[in-house]
Amino acid sequence: MSGLFTAIGGTLENGMSTYVTNVSSALSGALVPVVTTAVTIWVLAYGLAIVRGEAHEPVPAFAWRGLKMATVLAFALGSGLYQQEVVTAVNGATAGLAQTIQNAANTTGGGNPGCGSASGSSVTAASATSIYQTLDCYDQQVDLVLDAYSVKATHEGLSLAGIVAGIGDIVCGFVAALGGSIFLIVLAFEVVMARMLLDLVLGIGPIFIVCAAFAPTARFFEAWTAKVANYALLQILVAAFLGMALTAFSTELAPFQVTTAPPGSNAGALVAAGQAALEASAAWGAALGMFATAIFLAMVGWQLPAVASGLSGGATLSGFGAFVAGVASRRLATLIGRALTRGGNGPRPGGTIRDQTRSGGG
On whether residue 355 sits in a domain, the answer given is no
CA–CA separation, 303 and 285 (whole Å): 27
Residue 359 confidence (pLDDT) above 80 = no
Q: Following DSSP, what letter does each residue of 195-216 receive, concatenated?
A: HHHHHHHHHTHHHHHHHTTSGG
The parent domain of residue 113 ranges over 4-325
Query: What pLDDT, on a 0 to 100 scale, did the predictor assign at position 320?
Result: 39
- Tally of domains in the chain: 1
pLDDT at 224: 92
Question: Is 345 inside a domain boundary?
Answer: no
The conformation of residue 361, written as its DSSP 8-state character, comes to: P
Instruction: Report whether pLDDT(206) > 70.
Output: yes
Q: Lowest-pLDDT range, 56-60, 211-215, 267-271? A: 56-60
182 or 101, which is more confident?
182
Would you say residue 261 lies in a domain? yes
pLDDT band at 246 (very low <50, low <70, confident <90, very high): confident
Does any domain span residue 343? no
pTM of the model: 0.71
Neighbouring C-alpha atoms within 13 Å toward the C-beta of 141: 30
Return d(Cα 149, Cα 167) in angstroms, integer: 10
235 inside domain: yes
Q: Is the pLDDT of residue 164 over 90?
A: no
Residue 292 CA to residue 178 CA, distance in Å, equals 10
Q: Which pLDDT band holds residue 329 (cuts at 50, 70, 90)?
A: very low
In a domain, 14, yes or no: yes
Which of 125, 124, 120, 123 is closest to 100 using CA atoms?
Answer: 120
Q: Do 239 and 120 contact (CB within 8 A), yes or no?
A: yes
319 within a domain of the structure (yes/no)? yes
- pLDDT average, residue stretch 176-199: 88
Q: What is the mean pLDDT of the chain?
A: 76
**pLDDT band at residue 182 using 50, 70 and 90 as cut-offs:** very high
Give 298-318 pLDDT, tens digit per residue.
Answer: 999 899 888 888 887 754 443
What is the structure's pLDDT at 126? 54
Burial environment of residue 322 by CB neighbours within 10 A (0 to 12, 13 to 18, 19 or more): exposed
Residue 220, phi then psi, degrees to nearest 5? -70, -35
pLDDT at 358 over 70: no
251: buried, middle or exposed (CB in 10 Å: 19+, 13-18, 0-12)?
A: middle
Asked whether residue 350 is domain-assigned, the answer is no
The model's confidence at residue 296, banded by pLDDT at 50, 70 and 90, is very high
Longest dimension (CA), the chain: 128
Residue of 195, 188, 186 lying closest to 232 (CA atoms): 195
- pLDDT score at 321: 38
Using CA atoms, how far residue 59 sits from 43, 69, 316, in Å, is 12, 15, 44
> How does residue 319 score in pLDDT terms, banded at 50, 70 and 90?
very low
